[in-house]
Structure 1
Amino acid sequence: MIRAILTDIEGTTSSIAFVHDTLFPYARERMYAFLRAHTEEPEVLAHMQAVAEEAGCAPEPDAVAAELLAWMDADRKATSLKAIQGMIWQQGYAEGRLHGHVYPDTPEWLHAWHTRGLALYVYSSGSVAAQKLIFGHSVAGDLCGYFSDFFDTRVGGKKEVASYAAICSQIGLAGSEILFLSDIGAELDAAAAADMQTCQLLRDTSAEPADAHPQARDFAEVNARFALS
């Protein structure tokens, strides 16, 4: 029996294009200016020092910004990169320059599943802060209240079985009681190895089908396939 749903964001609740075509360029354009303006803030400084230690560069704004942009080019899932991106996005959301994209059916099914009593969780490579910004400032309003908790790379990589085992432990449910939704086959493989139930979302025609897992084009199909409500 499924008692909880753990969902990815990109390609699952929200458009991949929003992250890559809106959020990433927004952070890139403001990286240097943000670090220069906030270098004295303890949280920012701590992340700058972590980047400098890992990259072997000076812990000053321009050097760290250059390294972070290189990490973005390489699609690194580094915690400090995600944290600083999240801070930049937070400003954008607060100023009304950004609104989190969600697919039209996302609010409907989050509401339906939450009302049914299913516990809802998010697991994304983006920082927890960034996740809350997308859902808290979404085009459909504040959706954060539907979720019981959020997980990011601090629990481990999304293609690592141990990450999903850790999430099971933190949620307090057996893997078989959790349904993991993602568009990425390798993530679904790892979740299945931790005994989670899985479903691949194929919202984007460029997504590579993972035939080892049940598939759905939208949340209505997920709901019907697993008889969730």
Structure 2
Amino acid sequence: MPAALPAALFLHGAGARGGQWAVWRRVFEAAGWQVAAPDLVPETPQALAADSFAARLERARAAHAALPPGAALVGASLGGLIAYALAGTAAPAVPLVLVNPLPPAPFAARLPPLDEDDAAFRWRSAGRFAGTARALPGSPFADQHFAFRHWHDEQPALLRTAHAGLALPRPAGPVLLLASADDCEVPQGLCREFAGAIGAGFMGLPGGHLDPVMGPGAASAAALALSWLNGCARHRPD
């Protein structure tokens, strides 16, 4: 029987969908990995209004359970916090890659404050292309336009819960944290401190919050993560 492909679950950030991982998906699949990048957000306004961090975590858990045992977890921003929560209870322990993640407590207390206006989270229904262009300044127009068309409105209470700080168990498996130098949402210095506290590897990257996943640096960031994960696999005990 042929060996199972190495596998990874990619978890998107707030306002995004699984499609934000398109570049990472191509890099990993070209290297022979099985990849899943589900949409974690509910499709209807009514379901979104009732959504919660716990519910989104359970959707991620179901997606991870559908992959081979030991599948790696990769999460960005809010998806990073979900991936961290999932890895903290995963059995067996799994490797974890965090990309500009929202951190758990106590580090979340030092995040920049969220906008108090709920309208600020209507990225699909009230968003403007100029905002996406500012968030992806080095990306081609076609990529900016694709990103703009695929945002979704987010649940303000869910994000405020995440920003308030969640007490989560430390993952037992290896962790790599990638953090952007010009990230205004999750400052690189805070990511570095978080990584040190949990014994994670740390790599600083150029660009802003979205760049390592959706910007011009996405392919190189994916290659860094892939190389690290392949190293984890080589050193995993049989």
Verify same fold: TM over 0.5.
no
- Report the TM-score, using the length of structure 2 for normalisation: 0.32
What is the TM-score normalised by the length of structure 1? 0.33
Bigger-Rg structure (1/2): 1
